[in-house]
Amino acid sequence: MNCPHTAAAPADRGAGTVVIDPMVQDLDGETARLRDAGVLARIDLLGVPAWTVTRHAEARRLLLDARLVKDIGAWDLWRSGAVTHAWPLIGMIDAGRSMFTVDGAEHRRLRTKTSQALTPRRLEAIRPEIEKFTQELLDALDAAQGDDGVVDLKAVFAQPLPMRVVGMLMGVDESRHAMLTRQYKAFFSMLTPQDERLALLAELDVFYTDLVREKTARPTDDLTSALILAEEGGEPLTEEEVVGNLKAMVAAGHETTIGLVLNAVRALLAHPDQLRKVLAGEVGWDAVIEETLRWDTPTTHLLMRFATEDITVGDEVIRKGEGLVVSYRAIGRDIEQHGADADAFDITRPTRNRHMTFGHGPHICPGAALSRVEAGIALPALFTRFPGLRLAVPDEEITRLPVMTQNDMTAFPVLLG
Ligand code: STR
């Protein structure tokens, strides 16, 4: 590894610190260690210390606590210069002004149009298009089988589908999709040298700014154009704010849904008895989606919030100026919330809908309904078209990408049957 950012390493990280592995070699082990480390655990992110919350109930409270803010200016380690743009995770926090980085009344102003555009009712209008994309990609899957019959479900299906959907929604031309996919892959990978990551973020900024200017000149019926237009009697968003929201939507809409679809397929193939129940119509696809969201969260850790005052959590205190991560993977495995068998995948689990994978409070995922619609179309379509779908390698051979915040597989080789 060439990335540990030791400059910011504190003198004493404390005995109970869980060091988050940038190579993600043992995600289940790390999730268990975080849970064991306490409700509020100390973590080390490439040399940078932070707190993380590992339990459902406590995360719920903290996500409603206005003393925690997204503004990086509230972070002591940033203000003191201990954390800089040399830190490989800085792009997860310093992502420009958008609904992702602002709180309070300003946050509502930045977010309203997006959440209104993504309600279940509004999404019904784009369902036929998502179905069409899905069918096209199933054809592509069929055509992409190698001589041995093996095809990568990630590269050919799970990855392009969310890109097409969010591209259509935001008005990003298809000719740009493959490039964006490569750029986000490099952005998230901890193997990308930091200067390259900063350069590609700058390129993305240019691309999105050009797109916003084009939509300002010639508005169409996409969400980017809607974000540019002022609300009746309201203040329009600035160019920077529209660009920030657009970046956040494309990054989030693309990256997380890949995980949801692939993790669901993987879980079903590893639990054939449960797959049988779903295919027989005894349990709905919605149950598969919710249990996958809980058990194998697309987002492992969400960076970051900062305390504007001392906040007491049990026996610990998050000091003013310290950072808090929300460890959604550990939260999904919370025994108090889901029972002693929280580590088991079970689509009939009574608490399967009571997960917190989309967050909670003002920043709750505005794309939650969209991702459910996408997965709700993609999964049944895939298993209807290829009922004999199976993994081409043993499950243990599926590897994860070196991505610290997202749950990302390298590839998912399957045989279509
Ligand atoms: C990636 C880089 C960028 O340009 C903008 C953003 C803002 C939204 C972030 C995104 C980031 C990373 C993935 C996030 C997304 C919001 C939801 C998604 C954190 C930092 C999740 O994984 C939940």
- Ligand 1 within 6 A of CB of 92: yes
Tell me how far CA of residue 197 lies from CA of 186, 188, 256, 324, 327, in angstroms. 7, 9, 19, 24, 24
Instruction: Say how far apart CA 375 and CA 357 lie, in whole Å.
Output: 15
Ligand 1 atom closest to 204 (CA): 4
With beta carbons less than 8 A apart as the criterion, state whether 417 and 389 touch: yes
Determine if ligand 1 sits within 6 Å of the CB of residue 110. Answer: no
Residue 399 has pLDDT above 50, yes or no: yes
Q: Is 37 in the pocket of ligand 1 (CB under 6 A)?
A: no
- Taking only Cα atoms into account, the Rg of the chain, rounded to an integer number of angstroms, comes to 21
Q: What are phi and psi of 200, to 5 degrees?
A: -75, -30
The pTM of the full predicted model, rounded to 2 decimals, is 0.95
pLDDT digits (tens, 9 = 90+) for 55-88: 999 999 999 999 999 999 999 999 999 999 999 9
251 CA from centroid of ligand 1 (Å): 6
The whole-angstrom distance between residue 239's C-alpha and the CA centroid of its chain comes to 25
Pairing of strands 316-318, 311-313: antiparallel
**165 and 133 in contact (C-beta within 8 Å)?**
yes
Count CA atoms closer than 13 A to 302's CA, side-chain side.
27
Tell me the C-alpha to C-alpha distance, in Å, between residue 102 and each of 12, 110, 205: 31, 8, 18
The pLDDT value recorded for residue 15 is 58
Distance 300 CA to ligand 1 centre (A): 12
332 lines ligand 1 (CB under 6 A): no
A 10 A CB-CB count for 274 gives: 20
Give the number of the atom of ligand 1 that is nearest the alpha carbon of residue 303: 19
Strand, coil or helix: 409 = strand
311-364 tens-digit pLDDT: 999 999 999 999 999 999 999 999 999 999 999 999 999 998 999 999 999 999
Q: At what angle do helices 239-270 and 285-295 cross, to 10 degrees?
A: 100
pLDDT of residue 398: 97
d(CA 332, CA 298): 11
Q: Does 22 sit in the ligand 1 pocket, CB within 6 Å?
A: no
Query: Cβ contacts of residue 277 below 8 Å, gap of 6+?
Result: 283, 347, 348
Average pLDDT over residues 44-55: 98
